[in-house]
Amino acid sequence: MSSLGKGIVAASLGSLLEGRGLRVSMTKVDPYLNVDPGTMSPFQHGEVFVTDDGAETDLDIGHYERFTSATLTRLNSFSTGQVYDRVLSKERRGDYLGGTVQVIPHVTDQIKENIYAGSEGADVAIVEVGGTVGDIESLPFLEAIRQIRYDLGEENVLYIHLTLVPYINAAHELKTKPTQHSVKELRQIGIQPHILVCRADRPVPSELREKIGLFCNVKPERVIDCPDLDTIYKVPLYLHAQGLDQIIVDSLNIWTRNPELSDWQRIQDALDHPRGHVKIGVVGKYIDVIDSYKSINESLIHAGIAHQVRVETVYFDAATLNHTNVAAALEGLDGVIVPGGFGNRGIEGKIAAIRYLRENKVPFLGICLGMQLAAIEFARHKLGLTQADSQEFSPNSPDQIIHLMEDQKKMKDLGGTMRLGAYPCQLQAGTRAHEAYGADAISERHRHRYEFNNDYRGQFQEAGMRFSGLSPDGLLVEVIELTDHPWFVGSQFHPELKSKPMQPHPLFRDFVGASAERTKR
């Protein structure tokens, strides 16, 4: 079933196998017809996670990168739309030699080809099939993974099924029937799960796991309990305690060392025993679906681990803020993030929030659109350019502080045409950005069409804004910050896409550090 936590379980399993010294690849397949989630609304799909090579992917790819050492690529995420696009392209080229193109074997062969491409060089390939067992759209993927066991040999393939065990309040009991029927659906198409991971809002008792094992033809010790935990970063150790990683390496006949999990233990200890508390606001446009800001939320947790503080995140709908209520709304926060987004809804609310943060010396981190709006706010209220705006929202503004990038002017399609992926950035010595990274040159991931208008650089610098990060040719503004503020930084790139619990992103780490310092005043 969707949204049960397949991505977290897959990522946790990847981290456990890496802890045993294995090279792990991770791939997510999605059954929707969109080529990728790049043009999908955050309200429907949540966050779009961008890889180094510019792929716009499912947010589960973010979980994979956060939990493991992997740096994934477009080969590790594909959809039905991509599969059919490639099949039809091959048909047009005549690759099928005039044959009738069918779901089996042509679509399933393409799915397998994609899976194998994303698994090269790995000792163990973990493949997550999105969607819900029984849905029509998922059937080609399930058929493909059935065939993979036939192709590679039964000793080399293991099926793990994540299943819901709901608690019925009226009866005060957990029910196993949904799991039994889900496994029945899989067995009807030729897949017998070897391991069941039972998701519930509470621990599933051993007697129920034995019952599930009996009815689903799975050994009881391979029916794994996975209840809701207070943080996803406890899942790896919880699964390890039940021997899941040992069951897998035994089943695949892989010899490994004992797992090295001290980093996960350290993270769990830091989360369980914080030495302080910070309250961070996120002023966004898509707060009704918190997954829209998944990587930001996780990056704040990572930064809290680094400082051993508990980060409380409070979300504000930018569309409800204005100059009359913003002070009351944001009062009591230790720091605020203004994240990225598209379209003009909520823009003035974000600008009002940024002005409050700048004038009241509250730590601020602006990301992508958040950086652009920080520049617009500065122009309006510091430089006196009252009509300052972005070409995206106000194409007739006399002062377009933010304008369309030159190479974007000829673009017509929306999908996959932004400035996407990792690009280099040079940092200026003596700035907060340089202090955070401890490096002169960095590489960060981007997802934007608009940029700072260099015609205004001189005015901004004279008024106290520093351009602390630039593209190597000096033409594109990557990082801005204020010299007369405790911590006010904006980045055109998305730092949240490269943060891990073991390696908090430098900007998030220092932002939370500045916010923690504010609590001591």
Does 432 share its domain with 306? yes
What was the pLDDT predicted at 98? 81
Checking if the pLDDT of 37 tops 90, the result is no
Check residues 25 and 415 and name the one with the higher pLDDT.
Answer: 25
Checking if the pLDDT of 45 tops 90, the result is no
DSSP-assigned beta bridge partners for residue 160: 195
CA dist 295 and 305 (Å) reads: 15
Q: Is residue 205 part of a domain?
A: no
Does 151 share its domain with 289? no
pTM recorded for the entire structure: 0.94
Q: What angle do CA 299, 21, 17 make, to 5 degrees?
A: 60
Does 282 share its domain with 139? no
**Across residues 257-266, what is the average pLDDT?**
95
Q: Is residue 416 part of a domain?
A: yes
Please report which confidence band the pLDDT of residue 388 belongs to, taking 50, 70 and 90 as the band edges. very high
Check residues 41 and 393 and name the one with the higher pLDDT.
Answer: 393
Please report which confidence band the pLDDT of residue 416 belongs to, taking 50, 70 and 90 as the band edges. low
Q: What is the CATH number for 297?
A: 3.40.50.880
Look at strands 56-57 and 49-50 and give their pairing.
antiparallel
Checking if the pLDDT of 32 tops 80, the result is yes
Q: Is residue 167 part of a domain?
A: no
Checking if the pLDDT of 415 tops 70, the result is no
Q: Is residue 434 part of a domain?
A: yes
CB 118 within 8 A of CB 27: yes
DSSP 100: P
Q: Is residue 478 part of a domain?
A: yes
Last residue of one domain, picked from the residues 112, 134, 157 = 157
What was the pLDDT predicted at 369? 95
Active site residues per annotation? 368, 494, 496
Q: Is residue 231 part of a domain?
A: no
Checking if the pLDDT of 254 tops 90, the result is yes
Last residue of one domain, picked from the residues 98, 124, 157 = 157
Q: Is residue 185 part of a domain?
A: no
Provide CB contacts within 8 A for 175, sequence distance 6+: 165, 166, 167, 168
Quote the domain boundaries for residue 284: 275-519
Last residue of one domain, picked from the residues 157, 185, 211 = 157
Q: Which two tokens stand for residue 143?
A: 């058929």
Cis, bond preceding 105 (omega within 30 deg of 0)? yes
Q: What is the CATH number for 76?
A: 3.40.50.300
Split into its structural domains, the chain has a count of 2
How many CB atoms are located within 10 Å of the residue 102 CB? 11
Q: Give pLDDT tens digits for 286-338.
A: 888 888 899 999 999 999 999 999 999 999 999 999 999 999 999 999 999 99
Q: Is residue 242 part of a domain?
A: no
Checking if the pLDDT of 1 tops 70, the result is no
